[in-house]
Chains A and B, each alone.
Chain A
Amino acid sequence: MASSAPVWNPSSKQLLLIKLALIALSLLPLLRLFGDLGPNPPEFVSHHTGTWTFNFLLLTLLISPLRAWTGAHWLLRLRRNLGVLSFFYALLHVSAFVIFEHQFDITEIAKDVLDRPFITVGFAAFVLMIPLALTSNNRAVAYLGGKRWRELHRMVYAIGILAAIHYLWLSKVTTYFYPLTYTILLVLLLGWRAARFMDKSRPPSPPQHDKEQPIQFFKQKPKD
């Protein structure tokens, strides 16, 4: 439900600045990778890039409810950036796996993906992200048409669920706090959509027009 107060709408120049600021901020986690990586750098890089993949995924899913609550429809223009950023960090995360864990050995990678269930799930999530990344541009939207594009990009829900399972499965029981928190946030964001879906599938109520007189039935014809 949109608020009745007028919502600030950025001009195209302001929106560009906002997008540039967003991209600048979102590269800070990348810069962190050039700092102190601690005693186990491969573990840190993998954990850091994985966490930020999930962070941007959750931010992407946050846009629609945020729009609905604040009426700031321009936020939708940021969603694509957030989605692509999620994919960018996912690429870094998968690269860390390929380089540090298996030194580019394709056979070992294939064995691992099949051997370790949490990697199977993570890899599946990444594979599902690829068509979304490839169709994130305007040409793809035009080619697919709005409806088909929307249906394709609903795969982000499955990606989120796979990511949550991946994170839970690789954690020891003593370190469940973070993966559980991410799972709860994901459930809330998906839950909002589920609620909206239920709402939409109820038949729409008849249009209410303020200016129209309601139909009144008199027992007697009123005296003028």
Chain B
Amino acid sequence: MLIKTPTDHALATSEITPESIYAQRRQFLQIAGAGLLASALPNLALAAPLPKFKPGTPIPDEPSTPLSTLTTYGNFYEFGPSKDSPARNSSSLKTSPWSVEVDGEVLKPGRFDLDDILRMGAMEERIYRLRCVEGWSVVVPWVGFPLAQLLNKVQPKGNARYVEFWSLADPEQMPYVRFPTLDWPYREALRLDEAMHPLTILAVGMYGQVLPKPNGAPIRLVVPWKYGFKSGKSLVRIRLVEQQPKTTWMKAAPGEYGFYANVNPEVSHPRWSQAKERRLGEFFRRPTLPFNGYADQVSSLYTGMDLNRNF
């Protein structure tokens, strides 16, 4: 994590209000409220801002979910089973020093410090929908860079067909890793073309600040057209492999969680329908969109595939 002292960068970054923040000035109270929240819950403290990034385009008619909601409602089972467990328990997560090991079927494997990663790609803000398999959804203004930039740097070999993402699973920092609720460490994976897709990013921040700990600090995957569990948090390893890996949720409940996990209102979860979702902050449920609204950009990846079988 880049630790900037005030003398290093004078007033350059702070003078420019990122357009996204300006556009959300009406939500300032909520962000300020998050600041108050931060003083109450230290793990949510708004740390140093990120390097300059290109502001993103908001989704028309779909406002971003307030930061206080994003940090206090979510699933991060390493920190506990409840929706507010991450907010309450993730202060023990040490995000510095941090490095990500990139290996497997690549020509130039390496261990990258977070500082190296932050300099690797041009930072951009991406305002994405995120849809949980449970049936709720949010809109998040992520700050990150395309995963393709990192993958191109390590040069996948010809036989590399899938990319694995491993999350941190340290029982000292993450108390619930002591319980075998899932087969730790949390592992997710994408097909290589999904990983190389321009929409797929490695996120290091949200709302113009570094990722809060409950949201998978300091670096996580974001794949907006898939269910949220595919977007692994607090990544420590990225590995390119030849065979389709079995992800953590596939192992936990193979009949319920598949490899692709594309958001699809027509393919039900065995125990609930996926046709509708609750956007946090809204009273009524809204229809779920195919590929979470990103169909025109990603459906070509799946032409000819039976999406019922490859769920």
The judgment on whether A and B are partners is yes
Chain A residues close to B by CB (< 8 Å): 38-43, 100-101, 103, 112, 115-118, 169-170, 172-175, 177
Return the chain A residue nearest B279 by Cβ: A40
Q: Are A42's CB and B252's CB within 8 A?
A: no
Given contacts A42-B278, A100-B285, 4 further A-B contacts (CB under 8 A): A38-B73, A173-B181, A174-B182, A177-B81
Report the Cα distance A177→B271, complex, angstroms.
Answer: 19
Residues of chain B within 8 A of A101, CB atoms compared: 285
Q: Are A173's CB and B278's CB within 8 A?
A: no
- Which of the residues A43, A100, A175 comes within 8 Å of B136, measured between beta carbons? A43
- 23 A–B contacts, CB within 8 A, in A order: A38-B72, A38-B84, A39-B73, A39-B83, A39-B280, A39-B281, A40-B136, A41-B283, A42-B283, A43-B136, A100-B283, A100-B285, A112-B273, A115-B268, A116-B273, A118-B272, A170-B271, A170-B272, A172-B134, A173-B181, A173-B252, A174-B77, A175-B82
Q: Which of B109-143 contact A (CB under 8 A)?
A: 134, 136
Q: Are B273's CB and A43's CB within 8 A?
A: no
B11 to chain A, nearest CB (A): 36
B251 to chain A, nearest CB (A): 10
Q: Are A174's CB and B273's CB within 8 A?
A: no
Residues of chain B within 8 A of A170, CB atoms compared: 271-272
Report the Cα distance A174→B82, complex, angstroms.
Answer: 10
A162 to chain B, nearest CB (A): 16
B288 to chain A, nearest CB (A): 14
Residues of chain A within 8 A of B283, CB atoms compared: 41-42, 100
Given contacts A174-B81, A175-B81, is CB(A103)–CB(B284) below 8 Å? yes
Return the chain B residue nearest A112 by Cβ: B273
Report the Cα distance A112→B82, complex, angstroms.
Answer: 26
Any chain A CB within 8 A of the CB of B96? no
Q: Are A169's CB and B271's CB within 8 A?
A: yes
Return the chain A residue nearest B285 by Cβ: A101
Return the chain B residue nearest A41 by Cβ: B283
Report the Cα distance A50→B279, complex, angstroms.
Answer: 22
Report the Cα distance A100→B278, complex, angstroms.
Answer: 10
Interface residues as binary, B241-280 with A (CB distance below 8 Å gives 1, 0 otherwise): 0000000000011000000000000001001110000101
Given contacts A173-B181, A174-B181, is CB(A118)–CB(B252) below 8 Å? no
Q: Are A116's CB and B272's CB within 8 A?
A: yes
Any chain A CB within 8 A of the CB of B297? no
Main SS of the interface on chain B? loop
B131 to chain A, nearest CB (A): 14
Residues of chain A within 8 A of B181, CB atoms compared: 173-174
List of 8 A-B pairs having minimum Cβ-Cβ separation, nearest first: A39-B73, A39-B69, A174-B181, A175-B81, A39-B280, A174-B77, A173-B252, A116-B272
Given contacts A39-B281, A40-B278, is CB(A115)–CB(B273) below 8 Å? yes
Return the chain B residue nearest A102 by Cβ: B285
Return the chain B residue nearest A115 by Cβ: B273
Return the chain A residue nearest B268 by Cβ: A115
B52 to chain A, nearest CB (A): 31
Q: Are A40's CB and B280's CB within 8 A?
A: yes
Residues of chain A within 8 A of B253, CB atoms compared: 172-173
Residues of chain B within 8 A of A38, CB atoms compared: 72-73, 83-84
Residues of chain A within 8 A of B278, CB atoms compared: 40, 42-43
B4 to chain A, nearest CB (A): 32
A145 to chain B, nearest CB (A): 42
Residues of chain B within 8 A of A112, CB atoms compared: 273
Residues of chain B within 8 A of A172, CB atoms compared: 134, 253
Interface residues as binary, B74-88 with A (CB distance below 8 Å gives 1, 0 otherwise): 010100011110000
B272 to chain A, nearest CB (A): 5
Residues of chain B within 8 A of A174, CB atoms compared: 75, 77, 81, 181-182, 252
Residues of chain A within 8 A of B75, CB atoms compared: 174
Residues of chain A within 8 A of B285, CB atoms compared: 100-101
Residues of chain B within 8 A of A40, CB atoms compared: 73, 83, 136, 278, 280
Report the Cα distance A120→B72, complex, angstroms.
Answer: 32
Return the chain A residue nearest B74 by Cβ: A39
Q: Which of B53-92 contact A (CB under 8 A)?
A: 69, 72-73, 75, 77, 81-84
Q: Identify the interface centre among A38, A112, A118, A169: most chain B CB within 10 Å of its CB.
A: A38
Residues of chain A within 8 A of B73, CB atoms compared: 38-40
